[in-house]
A and B are shown apart, each in its own frame.
Chain A
Amino acid sequence: MKYISIFDIVGPTMIGPSSSHTAGAVRLGLLARKIYGEKPESIKFTIYNSFAKTGKGHGTDKGLIGGILGFNVDDSRIKNAYEYAQEINIEFKTANNTNKHPNAVDIEFSGNTPMLISGNSLGAGEIQITSVNSYKVDLRGDFPTLLLIYKDQPGMIWKVTKIIQEKNINIASLNCERVEKGEEAFMSICLDSLLPAETIDKISEISEIYIVRNFDALEK
């Protein structure tokens, strides 16, 4: 069982009004932005079910945008997130889909690098990114993470983990998925500490790695 800390009960300091619909939305935005990895030009958010029905009154839209801008859950700028996001072209769509989680969102980045990221707000500020493009993932922002998109070929896991091993950093979990044999593949590695820049440089040098993302756990 996960340890429940006194600081999970008294805290966090956050922008209200809802830990699932506001703070959770901020954290979904924050993690999506880390996965996307660059300054977004244009974003279409599709929010589902309870997020769609009660999101306006909970500032779910502002939370998502605030997260994309890199604001933490206690950042007072969240309330005026639209003003800070004027350079980004933002669109909101609402939808009902009983197959989705009650608090689900699709975040569609367009521009130079299009990317579709989906996630859920699980309650009490806990979140989960469930897919990146067509790949199923389970990222909760609770570990430093390395994400790779690359050409599916023998030895890729070995090549990557060998470089990580050189730094003696422990791997908490590793997941791989591919579209088809020999096509594009996706790897996510959760680690016990953040990989240093030189390790990332080395990993980036492996041939036919297309996208490398290396980011820390979200603040508690």
Chain B
Amino acid sequence: MHLKSEKIMKNIGSFQELEKIADKENKKLYEVFQEIESLKLEKSTDQLRDLMEDHLKDMEKSIKRGLESPHLSISGMSGMDSKKLSDRYEKNKSTPFNKLFGKILSYSIAVSEENQRMGKIVACPTAGSCGIVPAVIIAYSEEFNLSQEKLINSLFTAGGIGKFAAQEVPLSGAMAGCQAECGVASTMAAGALVELMDGSNSMVINAAALALKNSLGLVCDPVAGLVEVPCIKRNGFYAIHAATAAEMALAGIKSIIPMDEIIESMKQIGNLMPQSLKESSEGGLAITPTACKITKNIQKLGFN
């Protein structure tokens, strides 16, 4: 690579710049993300892709284990809902609607349930939102018979989008609410999906923008402070949300507000959000009468 482009690669700060440089160099976004990563981590593209392939395999295993597990979570609030979804999907497989929809739903819940029962998952971007990206890309790749290579490309797209968001806003419920967890996971998945379906760079960024724009303001108010209610089912909702955004972008629909400005909005909303709605379990769903009852029972469990 030329020294000049090396310098540019290291200093790309916005999605606008990113798109401009990628298009100018006639590269897909995932290729630019790989190059930046390769420069910064001092690893070859092959090494990075091997690492990503390991993550992909761990994602696939987490779906499989999640669907097969007969166990509930420690609190007993969750577990085995993915089985209900996959049973329904198997029964209605022939109906076109269920082919993708049923798979995305059951996979996303399977991974999230696996997370809550202390199974092995890939944080993406966080553990609480770990079901969204794997469910969407793996369901699509199965239904459209796509290659492993394309899946790995799409994971670099997802990771790059998340990374650019994380440079502006810390991706944690405690700092910016669930918009920065399930919202960003859905944003990453939307971009990844467009890449998987051979959309242009502009479509990738628009899909991400549409997904994030429609996740803004989402608070983090988990019952008993656990990554469980509403988190697990929310992974299902925001997996479908990602597919919605990707389908819109692939159809040529654009986000009127550009991605960089939406990220700024997320940051502002995160700062305006009261502490009681940022993973402290002191507001919202977490202080409903039912949640208070559940919290009391869980705290009775004790240690040892």
Contacts and interface: CB of A to CB of B under 8 A. Distances in A.
B126 interface: yes
Contacts of B171: 9, 124
A55 B74 CA distance: 11
Interface residues on A, range: 35 or more
B228 A17 contact: yes
3 interchain residue pairs of minimum CB distance: A16-B115, A6-B159, A54-B225
Interface string B33-57: 1000100110000000001101100
Interface stretch (B116-124, B199-207, B236-244, B262-270): B116-124
B118 A62 contact: yes
Contacts of A197: none
B114 interface: yes
Nearest to B75: A57
A16 B159 contact: no
B183 interface: no
A62 B122 CA distance: 19
23 contacts: A1-B167, A4-B163, A4-B167, A6-B159, A7-B37, A8-B163, A8-B166, A9-B162, A9-B188, A13-B120, A14-B123, A14-B127, A15-B121, A16-B114, A17-B116, A17-B127, A19-B127, A23-B123, A57-B74, A57-B75, A58-B226, A74-B58, A123-B172
Nearest to B52: A10
Contacts of A158: none
Contacts of A13: 54-55, 58, 120-123
A10 B115 contact: no
Contact of B127 (A18, A55, A57, A62): A18
B303 A61 contact: yes
A22 interface: yes
B147 interface: no
B154 to A, nearest CB: 10
A153 to B, nearest CB: 41
Nearest to A125: B123
Interface residues on B, range: 35 or more
A178 interface: no
Given A4-B163, A56-B298, A92-B303, A16 B226 contact: no
B128 interface: yes
Contacts, number: 149
A20 B167 CA distance: 20
Contact of B299 (A15, A53, A91): A53
A123 B172 CA distance: 8
A92 to B, nearest CB: 4
A54 B224 contact: yes
Nearest to A59: B118
A12 interface: yes
B299 A55 contact: no
Nearest to B65: A76
A53 B280 CA distance: 11
B130 interface: yes
A18 B174 CA distance: 12
Contacts of A151: none
A13 B119 CA distance: 10
A83 B152 CA distance: 38
Interface in B105-144: 114-128, 130, 133
A12 B118 contact: no
